[in-house]
Amino acid sequence: MEVLKYCMNTCQPIELISLMKQTMIKNYYLKKTNFLYLLLIILITSCASPKEILYFQDFEAGKERDISQKYTTKLQPDDVLNIIISSKDNLGTAPFNITSMAGNVGSTNMGTQPKLMNYIIRQDSTIEFPVLGKIEIAGKTILETIEYFKEQLKPYINEPVVVIEWLNFKYTVLGEVRVPGLYRSTSERVSILDALGTAGDLTIYGRRDNIMLVRETNGKQKYYKIDLTSKNLFESEVFYLKQNDVIIVSPNKAQIQSSAFNRNTPIFVSIASLLVSTITGVFLLVRKK
């Protein structure tokens, strides 16, 4: 309005009309440019399609299928076990169940309860067990180890009962999940779905069709690709985890572009401002000629 009043007082009618026309054109191009910027931002941060989010898209509802993949997790060096030996009459089991005092060092509390000793599998695949001595158990499953102990204990105990608990079965979940971190389980049967569920599930930005699993076997690392959109996952050799597995969920394209856009926003704003100023200046200069 101030420009209009100024022009009405100082300009000729023809000049006034020309200046008002240039101002209107300038505002039009500024609005058009802002609209294009807004459209660009929407395109960059657009939502993922349902095909990129839904799990097991090729399942047929109500159809049964056999479970072909079975878990066969085996013990390995550095595993920590709790081993309890008992029998029906509980005679002769004491020498096989060594306990330690689970109290603070220097404590005078006489009510401290004894705790069964844990066993760590050494690098040579063995543990040192009372009476039985040095025995090799790495490479065996829990059930195989239990049966092995029963056979070794028969000369000493009548109908031995063996309970083995896995104390340090751990795995790591990283990337686009709600709660990434290191997780532990006392169960030897942990599936990839269990692990992702424990980590709070994938975020909306996690790729369902490109999850990496890193597994160490016999001193070597092997990499696997997991696709949560396919039912073939249930037949994969990595459906059940092994100790020390690492799961990495990749971000989808929208998250990558959004991250790049947010990081470079100041640069984009500067370039956009420069372009708008240049285009507007050129346009006004041409109009004057």
Of the ranges 71-75, 115-119, 124-128, which one carries the lowest mean pLDDT score? 71-75
pLDDT at residue 200 in the model:
96
What is the predicted pLDDT for the residue at 103?
47
Domain segments of the chain: what residues? 2-46+256-288, 80-101+113-166, 170-251
Give domain 170-251's CATH superfamily: Outer membrane lipoprotein wza domain like (3.10.560.10)
Residue 29 confidence (pLDDT):
52
Residue 177 has pLDDT above 50, yes or no: yes
Residue 136 reports pLDDT greater than 70:
yes
Q: Is pLDDT of 93 > 60? A: yes
- Angle among Cα 257, 259, 262 to the nearest 5 degrees reads 105
Whole-prediction pTM: 0.63
What's the pLDDT score for residue 202?
94
Distance between CA atoms of 194 and 201, rounded to whole angstroms?
9
Give residue 106's pLDDT band: very low, low, confident or very high (50, 70, 90). Answer: very low
Q: Tell me whether the CATH fold assigned to 80-101+113-166 matches the one assigned to 170-251.
A: no
Of 3.50.50.60, 3.10.580.10, 3.30.1490.20, 3.30.1950.10, the CATH number of 80-101+113-166 is 3.30.1950.10
Q: What distance, in Å, lies between the first and last C-alpha atoms of the chain?
A: 26
Cα 205 to Cα 100, 110, 197, 223: the distances in Å are: 49, 56, 16, 22
pLDDT tens digits for 197-220?
A: 999 999 999 999 999 999 988 778
> Does 107 have pLDDT greater than 50?
no
pLDDT of 215: 95
Reply yes or no on whether the pLDDT at 171 is more than 90: yes
More confident position, 126 or 272: 126
* Residue 278 exposed, middle or buried by CB count within 10 Å (0-12, 13-18, 19+): exposed
Query: Confidence class of residue 154 from pLDDT cuts 50, 70 and 90?
Result: very high
Q: 253 falls in which pLDDT band (50, 70, 90)?
A: confident
